């Protein structure tokens, strides 16, 4: 451990890679991209594997280039390996547990590459570009342009070849385990063995070990028997990582990691009003129905809340919003607001309809609010599932 201060931090790797990408100073580009949920498994798989490919490249490259360019007068462009987070930058904070873990490992969000940061089709159109798919192997419609560049796939979903348009020599590791990061750890281990490097990569990148460890724990819910997602390989990899991390009490560490990630998943304290409106939203005809993991009352207190609702209505071509809130911190509470910036009479009429609705009764009690119809909800069992038929019925009645 005496060389600890010399270890590159994860943020150093990101910053250096981003500088080369943005200044177009690189030889060949490889991107590593997860699925569009951008959950922790996808994000960590792409980050760790890209970091490994970069490490492996530099290890192999140095032997060759030091012979050719001994005088150092020639500046050599390197290949770069870029993890791409498959979510728009403005929506990253919505992935609260991902944002939490990366923040905890000292990664600066501005050093990460999100799918809308660059014109990816244009970047990839350069010669010899490669794509590694992790945590998925069926491409979303909007990602289908990636297919011709795919050279490797690492995934834990059941094999689905219906949309398989990859080259014949694409290397695939598709195996049903609890977490894709388990397969990433196994693949890195195997490649290190081929290079006769034992566990050098893992020793040089303790934050990679920690992030994979955390992801396996979240994906298997700490090897919960009820959830039943963990496989023997997940177990083998977590023990391998713990043999390197050497926690004093591995059981306590696993528990702590799970608790902090579960808490982070429902922590929306860092989200703006606009981000909360994008987190979980449905529409019924011209009615926008966002649901919040906090009370609507608390949402309305955030700066610019109603302006953000107006913007969200425009974006979805809706003219009335039914905001649904819930809070578990002092026992379950629910509340509701109905808001229409251009047609307050319609908001009042929809509010009245919901108050009188009886299948099931929502038991809404009007309470004072300066700018919208606001209600406390007595029927605590009624979630958006119960509101949707009511709203559907209301808007069909309006159009008749």
- Positions touching Mn ion (CB under 5 A) are 41, 135, 180
Residue corresponding to tokens 């490797």? 152
| Minimum distance of Mn ion from residue 180's CB (angstroms) | 4
Smallest gap from residue 35 Cβ to Mn ion (A): 7
Alpha helices in the chain (DSSP H): 10-22, 40-68, 96-104, 120-124, 180-194, 200-204, 206-219, 232-245, 250-265, 273-279, 296-300, 305-315, 344-356, 384-399
Could you tell me the smallest distance in angstroms from the CB atom of residue 197 to Mn ion?
A: 27
My answer on whether omega of the bond before 236 falls inside 30° of 0, hence cis, is no
Minimum Å distance from CB 158 to Mn ion? 12
In total, the chain counts a number of residues equal to 400
Residue corresponding to tokens 């860092």: 270
- Is the bond preceding residue 360 a cis peptide, omega within 30 degrees? yes
Q: How far is the CB of 398 from Mn ion (least distance, A)?
A: 42
Closer residue to Mn ion (CB): 45 or 291: 45
The nearer residue to Mn ion, 44 or 347, going by C-beta atoms, is 44
Least CB distance from residue 36 to Mn ion, whole Å? 12
Smallest distance, Mn ion to C-beta of residue 156, A: 6
Token pair in block for residue 88: 């728009």
**CA–CA distance from 356 to each of 347, 363, 364, 393 (Å)?**
14, 8, 9, 13
- Cβ proximity to Mn ion: between 41 and 335 the closer is 41
| Nearest distance from C-beta of residue 99 to Mn ion, angstroms | 18
Pick from 381, 387, 382: nearest CA to 354: 387
Our CB check for Mn ion shows the closer of 187 and 197 to be 187
Instruction: Please identify which residue in the block is written with the tokens 């498994």.
Output: 41
DSSP secondary structure letters along 361-385 = B--EEEE--SSSEEEEES-TT--HH
**Within its chain, how far is the Cα of 6 from the centroid?**
30
CB-nearer residue toward Mn ion: 135 or 335 = 135
CB of 173 to Mn ion, least distance (A): 13
Q: Minimal CB distance to Mn ion: which residue?
A: 41
d(CA 291, CA 334): 11
User: Which lies closer to Mn ion via its Cβ, residue 124 or residue 238?
Assistant: 238
For the beta sheet containing 333-339, the strands, ordered from the edge strand earlier in sequence to the opposite edge, are 281-284, 287-292, 320-327, 333-339, 373-377, 364-367
Tell me whether residue 184 or residue 287 sits nearer to Mn ion (CB atom): 184
Cβ distance to Mn ion smaller for residue 80 or 216: 216
Q: Kindly tell me which of 180 and 321 has the beta carbon lying closer to Mn ion.
A: 180
Contact 222, 258 (CB under 8 A): yes
């Amino acid at each position: 451990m005496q060389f600890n201060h010399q270890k590159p931090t994860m943020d150093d790797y990101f910053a250096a890679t981003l500088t080369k990408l943005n200044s177009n100073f690189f030889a060949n580009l490889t991107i590593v991209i997860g699925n569009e949920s951008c959950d922790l498994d996808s994000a960590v798989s792409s980050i760790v594997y890209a970091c490994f490919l970069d490490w492996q490249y530099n290890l192999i490259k140095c032997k060759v280039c030091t012979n050719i360019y001994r005088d150092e007068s020639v500046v050599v462009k390197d290949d770069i390996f870029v993890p791409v987070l498959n979510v728009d930058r403005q929506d990253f904070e919505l992935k609260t547990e991902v944002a939490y873990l990366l923040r905890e490992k000292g990664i600066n969000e501005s050093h990460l590459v999100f799918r809308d940061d660059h014109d990816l089709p244009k970047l990839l159109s350069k010669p010899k570009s490669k794509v590694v798919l992790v945590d998925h192997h069926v491409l979303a419609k909007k990602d289908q342009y990636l297919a011709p560049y795919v050279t490797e796939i690492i995934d834990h979903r059941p094999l689905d070849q219906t949309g398989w348009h990859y080259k014949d020599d694409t290397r695939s590791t598709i195996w049903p385990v609890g977490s894709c990061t388990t397969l990433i750890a196994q693949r890195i281990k195997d490649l290190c063995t081929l290079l006769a490097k034992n566990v050098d990569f893992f020793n040089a990148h303790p934050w990679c070990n920690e992030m994979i460890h955390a992801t396996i724990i979240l994906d298997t819910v700490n090897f919960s028997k009820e959830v039943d997602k963990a496989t023997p390989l997940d177990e083998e990899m977590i023990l391998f990582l713990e043999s390197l991390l050497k926690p004093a009490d591995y059981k306590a560490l696993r528990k702590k990691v799970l608790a902090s990630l579960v808490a982070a998943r429902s922590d929306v304290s860092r989200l703006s009003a606009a981000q909360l409106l994008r987190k979980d939203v449905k529409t019924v005809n011209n009615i926008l129905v966002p649901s919040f993991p906090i009370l609507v009352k608390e949402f309305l207190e955030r700066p610019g809340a109603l302006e953000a609702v107006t913007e969200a209505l425009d974006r979805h071509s809706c003219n009335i919003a039914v905001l649904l809130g819930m809070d578990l911190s002092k026992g379950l509470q629910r509340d509701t607001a109905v808001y229409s910036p251009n047609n307050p009479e319609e908001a009042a009429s929809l509010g009245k309809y919901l108050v009188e609705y009886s299948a099931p009764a929502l038991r809404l009690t009007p309470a004072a609010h300066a700018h919208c119809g606001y209600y406390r909800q007595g029927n605590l069992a009624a979630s958006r599932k119960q509101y949707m038929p009511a709203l559907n019925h209301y808007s069909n009645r309006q159009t008749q």
